[in-house]
Structure 1
Amino acid sequence: NDPYRGGTHLPDVTCISPVFYAGKLIFLVANRAHHADIGGMTPGSMPLATEIYQEGLILPPVKLVRRGEIDDGLLSLILANVRTPEERLGDLMAQIAANEKGIQRLKEILEEYGAEKINFYAQALQDYTEKFLRQTISQIPDGEYSFTDYLDDDGLSFTPIPLKVVVTIHGDQAKIDFSSSSPQVAGNVNANLAVTISAVLYVFRSLVEEDIPFNTGLLRPLKIIAPQGTVLNADFPSATAGGNVETSQRIVDVLLGALAEAVPEKIPAASSGTMNNVAFGGYDPLLQKRYAYYETIGGGMGASFGREGLSGVHTHMTNSLNTPIEALENYLPLKINQYRLRPRSGGKGRWRGGQGIIREYEFLNPVQLTIISERRKFAPYGLRGGEPGRPGRNILIQKNRRRILGSKVNLKIQSGEKLRIETPGGGGYGHQQEK
């Protein structure tokens, strides 16, 4: 899970297994799973930290399984450093089982076709992806396109954090240069280079047809520049929990904004631009045990040429569904008082942006809460005359008092207090009078 050795942030644990065939190492199978708690300062392992040591247990590349046997000592060490060891044990066993299934399926294919033919087709798929991306890039007019957008802050200060990209298109190649982006910051929104590259690949993958495979062929036509020591390629031991979940979203936004100058009818307005991360934990007196919970909340999708944005969905760098109320209330000591679309939050335009979500929690016992969110200060932009989406809000309700929270907070919530998350709407596309 080490972000400085190919990981993203500490809650994302990667399991890698070798695949041997005819006595030779042929493939590696891998899966990555987000663990709801990996230790650290706060439940959910996404604290407002200043260095990675505060964020949780760091796992360098190490063998958890040796010759088919689990290393009980290492497993015990991991489970002793998390708040919910039973859940983590289940997640790790599921990851190991997933790799075993992957090994089994690969060996079945190897038995049927042989290693030489499989390697040939693997290379052919990468070449196929490269070919289609080069064709797509060649349809973008040659030139230099730039865009700047901002993260609200790093959670430790109120200073906006600029992200700027310059995209240079030359023939069938693209250079993506983030050199003018902010230096790394004190808080946890620093991204490592792997996160930055992943966000860039996502954008360019989105430009080609849906059935084009996602593989390393996407990298070949691209030159990605993110200087060491910037917020998009931070130095160890910078905190990175928010870089993976929030900064990645803004990388997508600035890159889409730059490409919109070149091919506006292919690029959508900004979507909600945040995962709206909510993490909390405490002690459940009914079950007499500690718990830790983490979820993300969807928002509005940006409108595009000919299409209105979808409402209440996860977009871009998110990969999870909204947790059903029934499951949440059955599992945790809380109530969900509201879960609905946020009216009039989508940006107006010829095509309107999607609506955000309102989700209100009422805590039945004290909890330690962390919120890592964005687009509370800087609204999701519209395109071609479309209006921006409405920024999000985090509201703490204490008896008859309402308190607007920042985009990133860590605080103690008392029994009976409520938290309302209002997520951003998507930007509109085109002038409204053209509707």
Structure 2
Amino acid sequence: GEIGQSPKILFYVASRGHHADIGGTAPGSMTPLATTVDEEGVLFDNFRIVDRGRFREKELETLLTDHPYPARNPHQNIADLKAQIAANEKGVAELRKMVAHFGLDVVEAYMGHVQDNAAESVRRVLERLPDSSVYEYPTDTGQVIKVKISVDRKKREATVDFTGTSPVMKNNFNAPEPVARAAVLYVFRVMVEDMIPMNAGCLRPINIIIPEGCMLKPAYPAAVVAGNVETSQHVTNALFGAMGAMANAQGTMNNLTFGNKQYQ
């Protein structure tokens, strides 16, 4: 950009890590008994981990330990986070290498092509779906996930509407909205029978409606750990059911957590 302007952000890199323990009432941070998110461990709320090139280790350690149920092995968490930052740095280096080799215009164009192709692939899936379908999925907690898929033939778009889904309850089967969105993304990607990379283009033709206060859109301090590993599977089952694509799976990720103060 010009002098005085902020630099334009071209790309984001990210790395996702599964940390063995982030505190909470049980080793592994996956207690089935939690009714608030604090019982599931330390919540990072937009914490800046690197500031102008400085890794904020002391502040990070405070965040991990100054908590009603602190992380059991904060030094391991810190080492893992450093590894994730290193992975991101590798991503930055590879992107720069790609841009240097092909040119920014070519890289950006192909990133666009990948997403355009994904969007078109999902639009072709919509052609195979009925105009409208509804599915109700009862869960073991007595909650219900309800979904309606409506296809707009003219626009070649679909609306996935979770209106009617049970409200947040005092358990930890509440799934954060990104989990529900990821389940929608996963299902439509599965329905595409071509070899395409997972990317945001898949959701371009999909309008997702998740009502405030339902179990798929909880707010702090709702507990959410089973939302990730159980409710996510319920949502995929409900979506495949609405599409008439396949019978329900068991609706769980079959997680087993064990450990103590020393081992997680």
**Fold match by TM threshold 0.5:** yes
- C-alpha contact 1:147 1:254 (8 A) present in aligned 2: yes
- Residue of structure 2 aligned with 1:272, choices 240, 245, 250: 250
**Aligned residues, how many?**
251
Query: 3-state SS of the aligned residue for 1:202?
Result: helix
Q: Which residue identity does 2:199 align to in structure 1?
A: N
Task: Please tell me whether the aligned partners of residues 61 and 74 of structure 2 are also in contact (alpha carbons under 8 angstroms).
Answer: no
What does 1:91-240 align with in structure 2 at a 5 Å threshold?
91-141=80-130, 143-153=131-141, 160-171=142-153, 172-240=156-224
3-state SS, counterpart of residue 167 of structure 1: strand
Instruction: Give distance in 1, aligned partners of 2:249 and 2:23.
Output: 32
How much has 1:112 moved relative to structure 2?
1.3
Corresponding residue to 1:84 among 67, 73, 78: 73
CA displacement, residues 213-242 of structure 1 (integer Å, 9 cap, x when unaligned): 221211221111110100111222211111
Give secondary structure in 2 for the equivalent of 1:32. coil
* Cα distance in 2 for residues equivalent to 1:85 and 1:181: 37
8 A Cα contact 2:166 2:215, kept in partner? yes
Quick check: 1:138–1:173 contact (8 Å CA) kept in 2? Answer: no
Residue 194 of structure 1 deviates from its aligned partner by: 0.9
Matches within 5 A, 1:40-79: 40-47=24-31, 48-79=33-64
Match of 1:418 in 2: none
Q: Which residue of 1 is the match for residue 3 of structure 2?
A: none
The structure with more radius of gyration:
1
Say whether the 8 Å CA contact 1:79–1:89 is kept in structure 2. no
Q: Deviations over 1:289-327 (max 9, x none)?
A: x122xxxxxxxxxxxxxxxxxxxxxxxxxxxxxxxxxxx
CA contact (8 A) 2:57 2:78 kept: no
More deviation in 92-101 or 66-75?
66-75
Tell me how far 1:151 sits from its aligned partner: 1.8
- The answer to whether the 8 A contact 2:144-2:165 is kept is yes
| Long gaps (5+) in structure 1 | 1-22, 154-159, 261-266, 284-289, 293-435
- 1:258 Cα shift? 1.0
Q: Which amino acid aligns with 2:110?
A: Y
Q: Describe the superposition over 1:183-212 as per-residue Cα deviations: whole angstroms up to 9, x where unpaired.
A: 111111101211111101110111113412
| Contact 1:178/1:225 (8 A) holds in 2 | yes
- Please tell me the residue identity of whatever aligns with 1:118: V
Paired letter, 2:249: S
State the distance in 2 between where 1:225 and 1:188 align.
22
Taking the aligned partners of 1:30 and 1:162, their CA distance within structure 2 comes to 33
Quick one: distance in 1 between partners of 2:47 and 2:166? Answer: 34
Q: C-alpha separation between the residues in 2 aligned to 1:150 and 1:35?
A: 31
**Alignment identity in percent?**
40
Q: Secondary structure at the match of 1:291?
A: coil
1:259 to 243, 250, 254: 243
CA distance in 2, matches of 1:229, 1:79: 29
One-letter amino acid matched to 2:59: L
Do the aligned residues in 1 keep the contact of 2:118 with 2:202 (CA within 8 Å)? Answer: yes
Q: More strand by proportion, 1 or 2?
A: 1
Whole-angstrom CA distance in 2 between matches of 1:115 and 1:42 = 48
- Displacement after TM superposition at 1:280 (Å): 2.5
Q: In the TM superposition, what is the alpha-carbon distance from 1:78 to its structure 2 partner?
A: 4.3
For 2:82 and 2:57, the matched residues in 1 are separated by 12
Q: Distance in 2 between matches of 1:78 and 1:91?
A: 15
Q: Give the counterpart letter for 1:98 in structure 2.
A: A
CA distance in 2, matches of 1:152, 1:120: 47
d(CA) in 2 for partners of 1:132, 1:276: 31
Deviation at 1:249, TM superposition (A): 0.3
Aligned equivalent of 2:4? none
SS at match of 2:259: strand
TM-score normalised over the length of structure 2: 0.89
Asked whether the equivalents of residues 193 and 232 of structure 1 are also in contact (C-alpha less than 8 Å), the reply is yes
- Equivalent AA in structure 2 for residue 124 of structure 1: H
Structure with higher helix content:
2
Structure 1 counterpart of 2:136, one-letter code: T
Equivalent-residue separation in structure 2 for 1:57 and 1:79 (angstroms): 6
How many angstroms apart in 2 are the aligned matches of 1:138 and 1:185?
37
Is residue 158–residue 207 contact of structure 2 (8 Å, CA) maintained in 1?
A: yes
Relative distance call for 1:139 and 1:276 in structure 2 (3 A) is closer
